[in-house]
A and B are shown apart, each in its own frame.
Chain A
Amino acid sequence: MLFNSYAFIFGFLPLTLAGFWVLGHRRRDWALLWLTAASLVFYAWWRPINVLLIAPSILINYALSLALRRTGEDSPALARALLIGGIVFNLCFLGYFKYLTFLQGTANDLFDAGFTLTHLILPLGISFITFQKIAFLVDVHAGRVKEFTFRNYALFVLFFPQLVAGPIVHYREMMPQFAVAPCRFSAENAAIGVSLFFMGLFKKLVLADPLSRLVAPLYAQAAAGTPLTLTDAWIAALGFTLQIYFDFSGYSDMALGLARFFGIKLPVNFNSPLKSSSIIDFWLRWHVSLTRFLTAYLYNPLTLNLTRRRVAQGKPLFGGRNTTLSAFVWLLAMPTLLTMLISGIWHGAGYAYILWGLLHGLLLVVNHGWRVLRPRIFLDAKSYNRAMKPVGFVLTFLSVVFAMAMFRAPTAGSAVTIWQGMIGMFGATLPEAILNRIGPAGPWLTALGFTPAWTSGSFLMEATLRIAALLAIALCLPNTLEMLARFEPAIGVKPAKQPERLVRLLTWEPTSAWALTLAVVTLAGVLSLGELSEFLYWQF
């Protein structure tokens, strides 16, 4: 069931909440059972058969966790075997549905293997659920999670606000909240929930979706092998960057808001990533819960092992001024590239996702390399940071936009076509009607190499206006976490000690002005309902 559907907003959500609150007045555990059952209905709505896939996987994972807890410290070898078995089981489960067709296709391409492609329908949210289950097994093995029951485990896995596309949560940050949640109506939680949910709906339907209509034909054109002119290529790349930005930002807000209705706070997942001044910073703001997962469960164990190995061999380590090239390559570049490659593969089966992951890995390596080199070249860190922050912002922004074309393009080749267009290899045109109406800028642009095209100017006008408006929102306005900071909209969010003027001005308050604004936002969102438009992150 989509968050942005009539059935969800006017049927499922009110019913689930009413049941939860009514039962919560009697017994809390009934309310939580109701919530688990409702989440299962939510999951089954699209294809009921999905339940037959997720249920056995939950049961097997739960059994493994019980076995892990029992073995515990008595028999480390057995515990390790159980953990590895569990991880392999979950990865195979994911791999079968997500990558089988891709692997068959690749084998056919490379070796003429002649496999008939099996077309499987991906169970909803399987990538997110798989990571969450793996994290749980690791936590039980590490002794970070000791107490758990089947009811709690099922609620943890199925809790519908974060079931399909995250945030990827930890058991130890969710269950203590459920353990003390009053399960009753609270005006504050309802107000925050409604605000976050409908601001999210607005971002998704009013801001993100219209861009999809603008850029889809451009990517189709690139896939068909037709070159894109300068402006079209930039509209494709910028337009998609902003589309996925507001799509995912909207989804994340809606997830936070939905959880809040039940008195639950989710972790931060999206924090104005386009304001980043470095790629490292970008990944601490975009899909935060994924970065957190990959860092804790993949990158850190990997570097720890590699560092131990180098110490045993007596080789120099990574860090500070004395970093050697080999330490940089083995202790930073390798693990970073591998982690981002896996991130790329996780997003989808296809060469474009793999290349996108590697590209971001490479950007991170360059960023870290510069952090090592910079102090040797620029001695005064303070003045360097002041002067270079804007440069860092521009470089980060351009890198993200270029990489997004790879993320969206149906094939890696068509992404390259778009990149070629973006650097002007296929020429630059402007509709003649526009070129003639922009005064002295017209001849100036002609001198730069723009040629008139006999097409309508309305597409270019609409695209430019939309992109400019959305960029202004993404770069200048405070985000929902800042607006609602006083009420801790996500785990650990606190108001800034000295908030900027705009943040103070746009701080959420229970006033009639805010009520009116939110009513308009809600109305605009609800009136745009209807067309079936999935969240981009639901396909992963």
Chain B
Amino acid sequence: MTQDDILATLTQTLRDLLGDDEIVLAMDTLREDVPNWDSFNYINFIVATEAEFGIKFRIADVESFPDVGAVVRAIERLRAR
């Protein structure tokens, strides 16, 4: 799975969650860039992503993902194990 594939999956997850089909995630997207992506929906997004990829992030990582790219890289790392 390439980074683009992961990004596409994440975009779909967040679209479903926020009910907004205009959302397009890129590696440098910040949470502030997406309307209504508040801290609650962030947690929901993280958990939905975990279910989607069958992985489990570390709590400390969840706290400190600076942008969507960091989430993508963490997914790659966890899937490689």
Contacts and interface: CB of A to CB of B under 8 A. Distances in A.
A308 B41 contact: no
Contacts of B4: none
Interface stretch (B24-32, B42-50, B65-73): B42-50
Contact of A142 (B17, B18, B40, B58): B58
Interface string A273-317: 000000000000000000000001000110110011001000001
Contacts of B80: none
A443 interface: no
Chain A contact-residue range equals: 20 to 34
B44 A143 contact: no
B63 interface: yes
Contacts of B1: none
Interface residues of B, number: 21
Given A144-B64, A304-B43, A311 B58 contact: no
A205 interface: no
Contacts of A141: 60
Given A308-B50, A317-B44, A320-B41, A143 B19 contact: no
B17 A319 contact: yes
A138 interface: yes
Nearest to B36: A320
A426 interface: no
Contact of B62 (A138, A304, A320): A304
A304 B48 CA distance: 11
A278 to B, nearest CB: 14
B62 A319 contact: no
A332 interface: yes
A413 B18 CA distance: 46
Interface in A459-500: none
B60 A144 contact: yes
A540 interface: no
Which DSSP category, helix, strand, loop or mixed, fits chain B's interface? helix
Contacts of B40: 303, 318-319, 331-332
A300 B60 contact: no
Contacts of A308: 47, 50
Contact of B63 (A296, A307, A332): A296
A319 B41 contact: yes
Interface string A324-348: 0000000110000000000000000
B51 A300 contact: no
Nearest to A305: B59
Interface of B: 17-19, 36, 38, 40-41, 43-44, 46-48, 50-51, 58-64
- Going nearest first, the 4 A-B pairs with the smallest beta carbon separation are A142-B60, A307-B47, A319-B41, A301-B59
19 contacts: A139-B60, A142-B58, A142-B61, A142-B63, A142-B64, A303-B40, A304-B46, A304-B59, A304-B62, A307-B44, A307-B47, A311-B48, A319-B17, A319-B41, A319-B44, A320-B18, A320-B19, A331-B40, A332-B40
Given A300-B43, A304-B62, 13 more contacts: A142-B59, A142-B64, A143-B60, A144-B60, A301-B59, A304-B46, A304-B59, A307-B44, A311-B47, A319-B17, A319-B40, A319-B41, A331-B40
Interface of A: 138-139, 141-144, 296, 300-301, 303-304, 307-308, 311, 317-321, 331-332
